[in-house]
């Protein structure tokens, strides 16, 4: 089992080490994920119902009110 895990680790390790174009892509992916999940999600995209209401009951009451007003 340990040998298999070691082989898998080596496979990924060597794969990442041997990358050329992939290195730039990974940098781009990390920057992108940081912008999406840390900056955009936290600062600009709070979940409206989760932020403003504590329980599902409150949320459904609010949506029902919105739909029927």
Partner 1 sequence: MEHIDFSLVDWSRAQFALTAIYHWLFVPLTLGLSFIVAFMETIYVRTGNPEWKRITKFWMTLFGINFAIGVATGIILEFEFGTNWSNYSWFVGDIFGAPLAIEGILAFFLESTFIAVMFFGWNKVSKKFHLLSTWLVAFGSNLSALWILVANSWMQYPAGMKFNLDTARNEMVNFWEVLFSPVAINKFLHTISSGYVLASIFVMGVSAWFLLKNREHLFAKRSMIVASVFGLVATAFIILTGDGSARVVAKYQPMKFAAMENLFTGQQNAPLAVIGLLQTNKSEPGPNKQDFKIKIEIPNMLSYMAFLDPNAYVPGIQDLVNGNSEHNLPSYQERSQKGKLAITALAEYRIAKNAGNDSLANASLTTFQENYAHFGYGYYANRDVNELIPNVKATFYSFRIMVFLGLHFLALFIVVLILTLKNTIDKKKVILYTALWSIPLAYIASELGWVLAELGRQPWVIQDILPTIAAVSQVSASSVQVTFVLFAVIFTALLIAEIKIMTTQIKKGPGGHE
Residues that bind partner 1 (CB under 8 A): 11-12, 14-16, 18-22, 24-26, 28-29, 32-33, 35-36, 40-41, 44-50, 56, 59-60, 63-64, 66-69
Least spacing, CB of residue 2 vs partner 1, in Å: 19
Nearest-5° angle of CA 44, CA 49, CA 50? 80
Least spacing, CB of residue 25 vs partner 1, in Å: 4
The CA distances from residue 18 to 12, 25, 36, 50, 62, in Å, are 10, 13, 28, 44, 54
Least spacing, CB of residue 54 vs partner 1, in Å: 15
Residue 19 · residue 26 · CB < 8 Å? yes
């Amino acid at each position: 089992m340990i040998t298999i895990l070691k082989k898998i680790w080596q496979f990924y390790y060597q794969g990442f080490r041997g990358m050329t174009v992939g290195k730039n892509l990974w940098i781009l992916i990390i920057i992108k994920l940081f912008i999406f999940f840390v900056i955009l999600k936290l600062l600009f995209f709070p979940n409206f119902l989760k932020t403003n209401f504590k329980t599902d009951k409150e949320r459904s009451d609010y949506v029902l009110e919105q739909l029927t007003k």
